[in-house]
Amino acid sequence: MSQKSLQNYIPALTGVRALAAYLVFISHYEYAFDENFPQLVKRYLQEFHIGVTIFFVLSGFLIAFRYYNNFHLTKGWFKQYLKNRVARIYPMYFLLTIGAFVYYYFTGDKTITAGFPYPFTLLLMNITFVRGFFDSLRFTGIAQGWSLTVEECFYFSAPFIFLIAKKYNKFYIQPLLITGFGALLVLIFRNVDWYGFFGNFTFMMVYTFLGRCFEFFVGIQLALLVHKRGLQRTNKVPFTYIGFILVLLCPLAMAMLPIPKGWTAGLHHPLGIITNNYILATSIVLFFYGLLSETTILKKILSNKFVELLGKSSYIFYLIHLGYMYHYIHEGMNTLNDKVFEWYDKWGVDWHSPFEYDNLNLLYAFIVLNAISILLFKTIEEPLNHYIRKSDFLIKSRKA
């Protein structure tokens, strides 16, 4: 397989998006598993937040793969670049975030605002992504949307990262400087009571681009390697499976770490941060390199048309799998469960309800969430993406 044949679209990496989103889903709902499950197994599943790292490494690779060799840091190029990024990320995030605050208006659910006294201000902070810089506000609105602040920081930074790498050949020192700047911000603001704005080192390293920039840089490095050497290989090293096994071992390593006081996972332990941000990111690159340069069963599965569709809709799945959308699905199944037992009482039978088991309900919710994601992708996300790209937003569209 040559570099040229890859073009700009790689089906297996689209399938990886679904895998990443499902890992995050498992990490948020591991409590649904039976209490008889070994504690280490539940801790292991809890560390499946590694899906976020997969997203970050993949973003670094794809942005560099598509833009590194043809970027020109001019006003027109930058506007077109931002237009493409907005078309991809913003419409569904904006609509679902508005939905979260409408839900808050009618229900008063404090998980949306985390006790912040000015909901409209918080809404603006959410739709502009700035809430992700504040430790106390990072889980407001769409809780998992904190990662989009990290993504947006990378999108804005990427052209300048490329420029510095090309002009000054200073690639490897950049993540050190970026993370060092994050540490400086923590030293400045950690004693300032401003909703946790860069309030501590754990927050900076786990929830901000300044702490997690290496994950993007290692993805960029893979893209540069592919651009330079192509994908013709003389060795038979099974990078796909070596990388995949290492990826699955990293959450095990984090699961064996003590959870620091006030935090929720081994990820937040200093060794957990090193494992997640550096060792895991490097393992993911090995996995990606294998997917790009090898033909394996795993690659065929991830390239399957249905899995590809799941990957395309996985962004919406990620945004709705936790929060008000899941809440309504869960409440709906509870209502169905009550109805089923009403029917049983009327019929005079003592049967089990298909909705009385938490683990089965989680499976039902997973299926429904995927169906909703595909529907929203086909009817809203994809059409809006195409519309914005063809519109005169930011820069006049080039029409044939």
Tokens of 127: 């739709």
Tokens of 360: 């089965």
C-alpha–C-alpha distance, residues 277 and 262, integer Å: 20
Where do the H-state alpha helices sit in the chain? 3-6, 11-28, 39-46, 50-67, 75-107, 119-127, 146-168, 173-189, 201-207, 209-229, 239-255, 270-274, 281-293, 297-303, 305-312, 314-320, 324-347, 358-376, 382-390
Report yes or no: 283 and 219 within 8 Å, Cβ to Cβ. no
Q: What residues contact residue 56 under an 8 Å CB cut-off, 6+ apart?
A: 147, 150, 151, 154, 212, 215, 216, 219, 281
C-alpha–C-alpha distance, residues 381 and 312, integer Å: 10
C-alpha–C-alpha distance, residues 339 and 182, integer Å: 53
Tokens of 202: 């754990």
Report yes or no: 93 and 145 within 8 Å, Cβ to Cβ. yes
Residue with tokens 């499946």, as numbered in its chain: 48
**Full pLDDT tens readout for the chain, 400 residues:** 444 444 567 899 999 999 999 999 999 998 887 677 888 999 999 999 999 999 999 999 999 999 998 888 889 999 999 999 999 999 999 999 999 999 999 999 999 999 999 999 999 999 999 999 999 999 999 999 999 999 999 999 999 999 999 888 878 899 999 999 999 999 999 999 899 999 999 999 999 999 999 999 999 999 999 998 888 888 889 999 999 999 999 999 999 999 999 999 999 999 999 999 999 999 999 999 999 999 999 999 999 999 999 999 999 999 999 999 999 999 999 999 999 999 999 999 999 999 998 889 999 999 999 999 999 999 999 999 999 999 988 888 765 4
Residue 377 corresponds to which amino acid?
F
Of 257, 188, 176, 254, nearest to 217 by C-alpha is: 176
Q: How many C-beta atoms lie closer than 10 Å to residue 155's C-beta?
A: 21
pLDDT score at 80:
92
pLDDT score at 7:
53
C-alpha–C-alpha distance, residues 162 and 284, integer Å: 22
pLDDT score at 172:
85
Q: What residues contact residue 283 under an 8 Å CB cut-off, 6+ apart?
A: 243, 246, 247, 249, 250
